[in-house]
Chains A and B, each alone.
Chain A
Amino acid sequence: MAQPTPSQTVGPFFDRQLLWSDGGKILFADQGERITLTGRVVDGNGGPVIDALFETWQVNAAGKLPIGGEGARPYGYGRVSTGADGSYTIETVMPGSFKGPGGETYAPQISVTIFARGLLKGVQTRVFLASLDAIKDDPLARALGNSDRLSTLVATRDPNNPKIYRWNVQLQGGGETVFIDA
């Protein structure tokens, strides 16, 4: 087995060289219910992480893998950076649920990877766009058992605008978001 090349931080200076034009507007070949996922990334003191690279990857509205792309971007993949208040925003479609190889059902979710200055390795996780009750049979929910940490992965629907889902990421400390090694 060859040794994997070590990870290194993305650093603070990637914006002008790595971001995509309109990288927060996720493209798909097909239609779906348009939603917005937005929130903040904060550090162990609750301070804003102002320079994170926030990437998302998801199935389409029918729960299928997005294949292909448009322009210089692949379908289903988003890439933005956080702003001065640590906020990010992704405009996408509500992903469908999908099946795993053993027939298990994955609840509607978006896979998220965050890179930043101070993160020597990216952190990977999944955000659920469904209620806690509706995700209890999801493989990650099962892996977490009864842990109250599962709630860190559930986006909450804005009571004033049901098209907006809010989800904050806490990199460290009490309320630390669950990160995965998948």
Chain B
Amino acid sequence: MVETRAADTHPPYLYPDYKSTRLRAPAQPLVRVPPSPLEAASPSFPRQFVKDSEADLTTWGKSAPLGEKMVLVGRVLDDGGRPVRRSLVELWQANASGKYPHPVDDHDAPHDPNFLGKGQVLTDDEGRYRFVTVKPGAYPWQNHAFAWRPAHIHLSLFGNAYAQRLITQMFFPGDPLCAIDPIFNSVPEAGRTLLVAELDLQHGIEGVALGYRFDIVLRGARATPMGV
């Protein structure tokens, strides 16, 4: 079995209800070693590498994308509550119809020529990030009969150390599809609320976009060498 720590909120590798884990989940325990000096550092994403326009996914096309406009705000913190500053946050998602711009997505739903569903920002000095996008649609998948993924937004984070690298998904409050989603439910019960954004009207745009808040906590640096 892969080891888990007492406060671990991460899913296991093997979660048989999510069928794709069955042949891909490592079965051997992870080997615990201190991060190398390389892994304790982070690749450099200087400010000029990220364009301001990449924070707004609704201005990518010639006209506005279809769907319900939304603002996503949040802070990136480490597990000691400290802001993770000037770190890259990448976002990708399906369009409002639940369709990705990917050739293997065979969901019978339309592409939106005005929506690529890709954005990136650097956090500010308080660890804050902000995107403007549209709410993605739910979509069916092949995992089991009548399987539908709840609406979700993919987020990719680099933190300030390679060992903090995280890819996750954000879900919407009150979505009944979460209860039947094996990917969401792979997370230990106590951790599931950490994947659900809060409605945050104040951070929306009056008359234009709903606001949601999603704070993200990355692991801190591993201080004590543990060996195997």
- Contact across chains for A18 and B90 when beta carbons are under 8 A apart: yes
B18: A residues at CB distance < 8 A: 9, 118, 120
> Interface size (B, Cβ < 8 Å)?
79
Q: In the complex, A79→B201 CA distance in Å?
A: 37
A157 to chain B, nearest CB (A): 22
Task: Write the chain B residue with the least CB distance to A123.
Answer: B26
Total interface residues on A, CB under 8 Å, equals 75
Alpha-carbon distance A1/B26, docked complex (angstroms): 28
Q: Tell me the bound Cα distance from A100 to B23 in angstroms.
A: 36
Q: Does more than half of chain B's interface fall in helix, strand or loop, or is it mixed?
A: loop
User: Within residues 16 to 33 of chain B, which ones have a CB less than 8 A from any CB in chain A?
Assistant: 18-28, 30-33
When the two chains form the complex, which single residue of B37, B90, B154 contacts A11, counting CB atoms closer than 8 Å? B154
A 69-80 to B, binary, CB cutoff 8 A, 1 in contact else 0: 101111111000
Closest to B120 in A: A72
- Say if the beta carbon of A94 comes within 8 Å of chain B: no
Contact of A180 among B32, B100, B216 (CB under 8 A): B32
Please determine whether B31 and A140 come into contact, CB atoms closer than 8 angstroms: yes
**Contact residue among A71, A76, A172 (Cβ-Cβ distance under 8 Å from B25):** A172
A119 touching B25 by the CB < 8 A rule? yes
Secondary structure at the A interface, as helix, strand, loop or mixed, is loop
Shortest distance between the CB of A142 and any CB in chain B (Å):
9
Give the residues in chain A near B219, CB-CB below 8 Å. 4
Q: Which of B63-71, B158-166, B172-180, B204-212 contacts its partner?
A: B158-166
**CB <8 Å contact, B165 and A69:** no
Q: Point out the residues of chain B lying under 8 angstroms from A7, CB to CB.
A: 10-11, 166-168
The answer to whether A120 and B12 have CB atoms under 8 Å apart is: yes
- With A17-B116, A173-B27 as contacts: A4 and B44 at CB distance below 8 Å: no
B65 to chain A, nearest CB (A): 14
Q: Which 8 A-B pairs have the closest CB atoms?
A: A118-B20, A74-B43, A17-B92, A118-B24, A13-B100, A17-B118, A8-B169, A120-B11
